[in-house]
Structure 1
């Protein structure tokens, strides 16, 4: 088997384990706080929001640093650093005795995290460019599958063995995935460690002024802002529609799961389609498709209608992040791919963090049905920005090449 393909399958399974382990924790976070003695509902909600969001905040701040370092010393070592670091921190979460301790550990976890972005960078740089879309789509499938199964098994185990034990199991699974990468993944394309490197801030300035990368970073932010914004309100919407049999929690979980299942199925196919016909086309039409499927969300009258629309939405969502990552691989400067992925990850984390906060505030004014329409508008705006921004960047690049040839001839 070719090395890049073997690496892909190993990293895909590793991402499944890591995302499954990480997502086992999220569903019972408020219950874990109650076990610590936080019984006031308002305090529980406040601490839950802070503890959940602080991870994204610290990850947003340090992602470019880890990306830049990966271009200097290697991408595989960044996967290992993140895996072992998260395993230690999450294990310590199982020993926390107060919300403040848990908050600090989540802050540290965001700082050392980056298993998924580092895996994407390692795969993108060690896979032939003509197969990058397919490879990144497969990685997406592994991560999504883990995020679907994690809450399910986490809920079951919380009933059997208690909340604290799940942190130790999560830590063990991440260690297992990291050891698999350590012994089984081979990094063929490694950075030139003897090449002269600019400082971190100078490299960052270069990446942020290297069109069309800022266009892609903004698209990544809009994607995550739009897709995650309505998610915290979904269980309330299911309750408003009237869950069959009164099983609100079950159908709220099912609404999320069907989107993930469709995403998982569509990602490899759309990635392969992007390799043949262009990832830009896949990303553009996937954003428009997602916008179109969000519009009837505002008009549904039953949970069954919502489930159908969420599945169709997931088919479009499967083409978003893999195509975006493939485009970053294409447009990133030689030797600075991981730095570019670091800034892209920051933009995505910023969308993850601000989307639910701002949309939660807006929902008080326009309701969740209004949020769905707002999301559709944001996705259309992102699609327009992608098409217009990439075209402008390419024209500017072509114009610069012409000027360079003219000056060389003179």
Structure 2
């Protein structure tokens, strides 16, 4: 196999295991907290929210730090640091004796995270430019597949072997994936050249990167994708109940509606990534932004569960084209030697969307209802599409004018 394909295969497996490990805890987290001796329902809910969010809070803060170190010491080093570190922390979660222990370990997991931006940066610097869109789409499909199957696998394993062994198995799989990456993943990195680069702080790095006016708009795309998806996600079961009415299979339908977006995203990502290599990532990103924005409108108007299912499926198709195009364009507009920092800021934007989406969505749902949240997502995505058009397409047009003159 060509070297970049070997890297892609190994990193896809690692991405799948990381994301499935992160989401595997979702179905049984409240039950695991109860198993630790917490019985009050409100207290269980508070602990579950804190534990789930703790990982994203520290991840948002520390991603740029690891990105700067990756540009200086190598992306593979940061990849292995994150992979082996999360393997240890995930295993220790199985030994947690109280919710506070589990919260501290989830916070620590966010501190040492960084597998995804390191994998994206490494792949972007080792893949031929005419294959980057396909590689980014395929890599994203691994993360999405892990996010979809993680809760399903976690629920099954919880029934078969109990809660604690799940963490031991996940930690072992992460360790094995990191070991495979150690021996098989190769990168093009010149330490001597990297050391010649001036040392700059996180804030200075961001100031340098934002001089490329395209990057802030691309970071906004990543934030809005996560914000739009997660602002309504906690209310989906109640919306399904409203559409379906009381009866059997309610939990099944709620899970189906929640997972269908990820499923269509996983199918569409490699295909749209390959198309972006042929016709340009800017065009695919523009179409997907507008398509995703318009896909939220039918969700606000549905009258039965199957209409919601179909509109969520279409949303996932358009979502599948956005992140690969964003990652491809970030590589294009990032100065050489700052790739990891650029991708780490994008990962922070993703974590911020994961945090703010459920919080703001829950806060305003009393005024807007979930149907209003869908319309809010439409407006946000259309505004972002205008920003992207202004920065990407007008920027290229002005560049051509300057060249011609």
TM-score tier, shorter chain, comes to over 0.9
Higher mean C-alpha deviation, range 274-283 or range 210-219: 210-219
The CA distance in 1 between the partners of 2:85 and 2:200, in whole Å, is 25
Contact 2:217 2:384 in 1 (8 A): no
Poorly superposed stretches of 4+, deviation over 3 Å: 391-403
Contact 1:127 1:135 in 2 (8 A): yes
Match of 1:61 in 2: 61
Tell me the TM-score normalized by structure 1: 0.93
The CA distance in 1 between the partners of 2:246 and 2:182, in whole Å, is 47
* Of 287, 295, 299, the match for 1:293: 295
Tell me the TM-score normalized by structure 2: 0.95
Contact 1:14 1:177 in 2 (8 A): yes
Contact 1:89 1:108 in 2 (8 A): yes
Provide the aligned C-alpha RMSD in A. Answer: 2.0
Cα deviations by residue, 1:308-334 (Å, 9 ceiling, x for unpaired): 111111111110111111110111111
Residue 231, structure 1, aligned to residue 233, structure 2:
yes
SS in 2 for 1:289: helix
Cα deviations by residue, 1:265-316 (Å, 9 ceiling, x for unpaired): 1101100111111111111110111111110101112111111111111111
CA gap of 1:399–1:333, structure 2 versus 1, over 3 A, is: farther
Q: How does 1:34-113 map to 2 (within 5 A)?
A: 34-113=34-113
The CA distance in 2 between the partners of 1:244 and 1:153, in whole Å, is 27
Q: How does 1:1-400 map to 2 (within 5 A)?
A: 1-190=1-190, 192-201=193-202, 202-242=204-244, 245-391=247-393, 393-394=395-396
SS in 2 for 1:320: helix
Contact 1:219 1:385 in 2 (8 A): no
Contact 1:215 1:389 in 2 (8 A): yes
Q: Once the 2 structures are TM-superposed, how far is the Cα of residue 39 of structure 1 from its aligned partner? A: 1.7
Contact 2:194 2:337 in 1 (8 A): no
SS in 2 for 1:335: coil
Q: Once the 2 structures are TM-superposed, how far is the Cα of residue 193 of structure 1 from its aligned partner? A: 3.1
Q: Once the 2 structures are TM-superposed, how far is the Cα of residue 245 of structure 1 from its aligned partner? A: 5.0
Cα deviations by residue, 1:46-102 (Å, 9 ceiling, x for unpaired): 111111111111000011111111111111111110011111111111111111111
What stretches of structure 2 of length at least 5 have no aligned partner?
A: none
